[in-house]
């Protein structure tokens, strides 16, 4: 049976950080953060909100800006900062998408409801294409 994987994460911007509950979503190509938490961390607001399609039929959301932050998962700080789209009225504090899960080889254990790194500590490989 499929089940949602929700785990604690920490997002850090300069001298501020905040703990949040994140939905790890393999169907999301990008990562998002709710506008309430993003406001506490100081996000960049767009002049005009942008409509985005959500993973629910006939549903749209409003992306109002972006936030670049350091990310800590399972008490392990990822080596690079990541940019999150800021969404109004997001149902979860944070949605971690494949833009973070894939490069760090994050595994979702649906049976235990846990997030795991296949390689620890998480590293990025730089591959040159001939």
Q: How confident is the model at residue 57 (pLDDT cuts 50, 70, 90)?
A: low
pLDDT in tens, 68-116: 999 999 999 999 999 999 999 888 999 999 999 999 999 998 888 889 9
Which among 98, 57, 66 has a CA at the least distance from the CA of 85? Answer: 66
**How far out from the chain centre does Cα 18 lie?**
13
Q: What pLDDT sits at residue 1?
A: 40
Question: pTM score, two decimals?
Answer: 0.88
Tell me the average pLDDT across 20-31.
Answer: 92
- Over residues 29-34, the mean pLDDT reads 94
Whole-number mean pLDDT of the chain?
A: 88
43: pLDDT strictly greater than 60: yes
Assigned CATH topology for domain 5-117: Cathepsin D, subunit A; domain 1 (2.40.70)
């Amino acid at each position: 049976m499929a089940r949602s994987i929700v785990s604690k994460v920490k997002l850090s911007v300069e001298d501020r950080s905040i703990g949040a509950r994140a939905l790890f979503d393999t169907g999301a190509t990008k990562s998002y953060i709710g506008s309430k938490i993003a406001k506490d961390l100081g996000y960049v607001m767009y002049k005009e909100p942008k409509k985005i399609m959500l993973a629910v039929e006939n549903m749209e959301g409003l992306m109002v800006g972006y936030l670049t932050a350091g990310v800590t998962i399972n008490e392990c700080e990822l080596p690079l900062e990541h940019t999150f789209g800021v969404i109004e009225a997001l149902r979860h504090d944070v949605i971690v998408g494949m833009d973070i899960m894939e490069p760090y080889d994050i595994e979702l254990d649906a049976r235990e409801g846990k997030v795991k790194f296949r390689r620890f500590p998480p590293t990025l490989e730089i591959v040159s294409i001939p």
